[in-house]
Structure 1
Amino acid sequence: MAEPTRKILTRPALNKAKTRTGKEQLKPKAPEPETLPIKADSLAFSLVGAAQTVAYVLDGIALPQALSRVFTQTDASPQARGAIQDISYRTMRQVGRVDALIAAMTTKAPEPPLLYGLLCCALTLLITENTDEAPYDDFVVVDQAVNAAASSPNMVFAKGMVNAVLRRFLREKDELLTMVVKQAAARWNYPQWWVDQCKSAYPQDWQQLLSAADTPPPMTLRVNQRLSSIENYLLLLKQAQIEASQIGPSAIRLHKALQVQNIPGFAQGMVSVQDAGAQLAAVLLDVQDGHKVLDACAAPGGKTGHILELAKVDLLALDVDAKRLDKIHDNLARLQLFATIKEGDASWSNWWDGQQFDRILADVPCTASGVVRRHPDIRWLRRKTDAAQLAVTSSRILDNLWRMLKPGGKLLLVTCSIWPIESENQAKAFAERHAAIRLDAPGQLLPTSEINNEHDGLFYALFQKPEV
């Protein structure tokens, strides 16, 4: 999807020309395009930031890292950062559609990528059909998009084109949308291969499954029942005039998302942000006081914390990414809990001391295809072959961890994927290789299935090692 970066409006610093006498004379440098300043609290400023974010993502950078890079490069206020993030996430959910619209209204893909990103972001704001969700009036979007183009030397040459494309879209909106949604990528906002794969895996539910990613996910909290009961925490929210509902044994859904610093008791470890489906992991693992537990692939530590909230166990939190270990430390410090945290690859044994575990949580690497509504960039970053490649890695991890499990112990396989090759097929093959006893577990959870679509797409398979 990403277009190759090409330099535009580049000129040599000095052009040479000959005078009548035959001597070379230096011509003045050609003037740079005139740019107009924009205010840091304007929509134009946020559009530039979001356009750069989109350009980074389509060049292969994950959305959170792309946003972090943009925030580092710009002196954006917290309010502007919020607007940049909101527009970026909205746009990632509409890339297939706006890409088709741009193709229909231009003779070639706009360059540089920043210009393409600006058109993607502006069109995303203009195609919102539900007026309650439309954050800006149409004329404001067009005006501010032109100002955004005029503010950047890489886009100022195309401000007329930006104005023409957006105004044409508003004039022909119904006709253009009717035309482009005949393409699967534009209709569903997924790559064609993803749509085809979803149809094959879920012939009855594929449309619901694809549509589930059109809206932002709910914000769900997990109450730390070492510090509070769910009843007392709901009362605390009510006193703070925050509307919420209980949707699980420890799960509370906020009716409106909040910044974590505004969530009562968050800094004190009373609650954590965790999807309702993900909260099943620690419960299914059936940890008991005194157990020796391994949380493999543990970062950022959400499930680690939940395990420690449920029982007093000797827990080793392992992750191959040293940079992400800090997140586990931070989460446990906030929750006032302790675990041994170690860098290590779960597919190898050089970190293992030889002592077997009572319980192992194997949250194995996967395509994360079940969390696309939470991470809308995933669908544009993944390739068709990724699931098969990751399944091989996960299989190697499971085989290695199985020998670290005590006879009679339990291993829980978790993925946030909806592709059978990473979930059910993986579980069946693993059970056959090791004669593992498969215990009761939810299996495949889809974002369209239970509790009014209030959880991500996850897969659970629980195994017990036979007694010797």
Structure 2
Amino acid sequence: MKNHRSNRTPRPERPASALPADSLAFSLSRAAELVEAVRAGANLTDAFEAMLARHAEWPDATRGAVRDLAWGTLRDYGRGDAVLRQLLHKPLPEAIHALLLVALHRLETRPEQAHTVVNQAVEAAAAMMAPLKGVVNGVLRNRQRNAAELDAELDADQSAYYRHPSWWVERLRASFPQGWEAALAAGNERPPMGLRVNHLRGSVDAYASELDAAGFAHRRLGNDALVLAKPVAVAALPGFAEGRVSVQDGGAQWAARWLDLAPGQRVLDACAAPGGKSAHILETAAVELLSLELDAVRSRRIVDNFARLGLTGEVRTADCRERAKWWDGRPFDRILADVPCSASGVARRHPDIKWLRRADDIPRFAAQQAEILDALWPTLAPGGKLLYVTCSVFVEENARQVERFCARHADALRLEIDGRPECQLLPGADHDGFYYALLAKRA
């Protein structure tokens, strides 16, 4: 794959075919367009949103089917790509290559539907590039006939076995000798759906009872996050439109608690979009909050989130590293530095990250994070606290970043988080991967 460019404009889709919109062939072909776009360097979410904007007439079932196929294919890309390296003797057009990846994913996850999957993939190929429908049929049949031999070869291929790039696997193995395989396995699963109850509009206990009444099984985490046993449509959540609940990963919901908030404090959320943590701060304590975001469109999402939840906070579009453009000189009592990172802890939500990210991207993220920390530190009041957060599982962005920062700033004091010097959450059944470190400025 080409390297990741999150602002890449999704390519125009191919002309609509005559495939029935409710057919598996249609969903396979549309998902293949998304996979093809990602292989060319596009952001998966952006490409999908652009596709939906062009097809407002699609029913929810079609949208869901296309999304599930595209996201699942990219979670399993390491395996599908390895299969095609074994079965293809010469390159195919990108559209057909992507279709085969989607069909292989469907075969692997729905083996009981093998006959239907192959037939529908051939139908999709016929609508896309008719002369190559025989190639699609042959590749998929070969995958079935040679399953045992191919699976043995795939299990010997590290990237295919773990469904992550080899450099990613090696980094986790070195950093987490006891937890790396479980973290990789979790990174290939569908992510959990976490809920955050708006404490200004109701209690967690009361909302949990509403979920029970609606038949939505759930479990409660130690930070009061509610995790649904099965994801549901946001519109089905009791009180969502009224701002009584938000969708937020359980691991992200530690931030407001660990900031040690109190009424009247002046608080900065330095990299705030889409606004979940900012909103949680305002739901937790009556503070004076400034939320910064570099991108104007993403800043608008923060404003919209505040409006739905009935919250009031200042939102500004600015680069937090350029203090002269946004800081009025008044120090902050608390700073949330949820910095840009590799997003390696949330890759199951954004599976294109696994395959578009490169090992040499990590030092670049670390350099940017160091710039942000150094720029924010002067704005923190003596005795104030800064919570450093990433959604990464790589130590270069996490523990080592904080160690280097403390070495540069003699007035920085590491504080424990629930009795630990830092907190690294790895992806699991309850939450995504996050890193937290709490720093105080010596008075």
Q: Which of 426, 434, 437 is the equivalent residue of 2:409?
A: 434
Of 447, 457, 462, which aligns to 2:426?
Answer: 447
Taking the aligned partners of 2:374 and 2:49, their CA distance within structure 1 comes to: 36
Larger Rg: 1
Note the C-alpha offset of 1:67: 1.0
Count residues in correspondence. Answer: 425
The one-letter code matched in structure 2 to 1:109 is P
In structure 2, the residue matched to 1:61 is: 42
1:176-255 equivalences under 5 Å are 176-255=150-229
Give the Cα separation in 1 of the matches to 2:341 and 2:82.
Answer: 29
Distance change in 2, residues 1:440/1:219 (3 Å): same
Matched, 1:366 2:341: yes
The aligned counterpart of 1:18 is none
User: How far is the alpha carbon of 1:259 from its aligned partner?
Assistant: 1.1
Q: How far off is 1:36 after superposition?
A: 7.1
Q: C-alpha separation between the residues in 1 aligned to 2:130 and 2:293?
A: 46
Greater Cα offset, 298-307 or 219-228: 219-228
C-alpha separation in 1, matches of 2:207 and 2:112: 36
Task: Provide the rounded CA distance (Å) in 2 between the counterparts of 1:260 and 1:177.
Answer: 38
Classify the secondary structure of the residue corresponding to 2:251.
coil
SS of 1:210's equivalent in the other structure is helix
Q: CA deviation at 1:62?
A: 1.7
| Bigger share in helix | 2
Pick from 325, 336, 348 the counterpart of residue 310 of structure 2: 336
- Per the TM alignment, residue 61 of structure 1 is displaced from its structure 2 partner at its CA by 1.4
State yes or no: 1:459 paired with 2:431.
no
Q: How many Å separate the matches in 2 of 1:388 and 1:444? A: 21
Q: Alpha-carbon deviations, 1:325-370, whole Å to 9, x = none?
A: 1110111111100110001111111211111111110001110111
Q: Secondary structure at the match of 2:395?
A: coil
TM-score by length of 2: 0.93
Name 2:287's counterpart in structure 1: 313
Cα distance change on mapping 1:230 and 1:109 into 2, 3 Å: same
Superimposed CA distance per residue, residues 265-295 of structure 1 (whole angstroms, 9 cap, x where no aligned partner): 1111111111111100011111111111100
Unpaired segments ≥5 residues, structure 1: 4-34, 129-133
Query: Distance between the aligned counterparts of 1:97 and 1:422, measured in 2?
Result: 28
Compute the TM-score of the two structures, normalised by the length of structure 1: 0.88
Q: Residue 242 of structure 1: CA displacement? A: 1.4
Q: Secondary structure at the match of 1:383?
A: coil
Match of 1:76 in 2: 58
Offset of 1:136 from its aligned partner? Answer: 6.7
User: Tell me, what secondary structure is at the counterpart of 1:220?
Assistant: strand
Distance 1:136 1:323 in 2: 44
Distance 2:289 2:176 in 1: 37
1:285 aligns with 2:285: no
Say which of 27, 31, 39 aligns to 1:46.
Answer: 27
Shift, 1:199, TM fit: 2.1
Give the CA deviation at 1:445.
Answer: 2.4
Which residue among 373, 376, 401 is the counterpart of 2:351?
Answer: 376
**Counterpart code for 2:106:** L
What do residues 89-136 of structure 1 show as CA deviations (whole Å, max 9, x unaligned)?
A: 11011111111111111102321x1111100000001112xxxxx397
Alignment check: 8 A CA contact 2:219 2:226 kept: yes
Q: Which deviations, in whole Å up to 9, do the C-alpha atoms of 1:235-282 show, x marking residues without a partner?
A: 111111211121233211111101111111111111111111110001
- For residue 294 of structure 1, give the secondary structure of its aligned residue in structure 2: strand
Question: 2 CA distance for matches of 1:423 and 1:297?
Answer: 16
Secondary structure at the aligned position of 1:137 is classed as helix
1:374 Cα offset (Å): 2.1
Instruction: Work out which of the residue numbers 395, 400, 420 in structure 1 matches 2:395.
Output: 420
Aligned to 2:72: 90
Read off the aligned partner of 1:146 and give its amino acid letter: V
Alignment-derived partner of residue 100 in structure 1:
82
CA drift of 1:460 comes to 0.6
Task: Give the counterpart letter for 1:446 in structure 2.
Answer: L
| Residues 389-430 of structure 1: per-residue CA shift (max 9 Å, x gap) | 111111111111110011111111001111111000111111
Q: Does the C-alpha gap of structure 1 residues 264 and 459 become closer, same or farther in structure 2, counting only changes over 3 Å?
A: same
SS in 2 for 1:427: helix
1:388-407 maps to which residues of 2 (within 5 A)? Answer: 388-407=363-382
State the secondary structure of the residue aligned to 1:277: helix
Gaps of 5+ in 2: 4-15
| Higher relative contact order structure (alpha carbons within 8 Å, sequence separation ≥ 6) | 2
Contact 1:447–1:454 (8 Å) recurs in 2 = no
RMSD of aligned residue pairs (Cα, Å): 1.7
Q: Identity of paired residues, percent?
A: 45
Q: Aligned letter for 2:122?
A: V
Partner SS state of residue 124, structure 1: helix
| Pairwise CA distance, 1:304 | 0.3
Cα distance between partner residues in 1 of 2:200 and 2:60: 33
Asked if the contact 1:298–1:318 (Cα under 8 Å) also holds between the matched residues in 2, the reply is yes
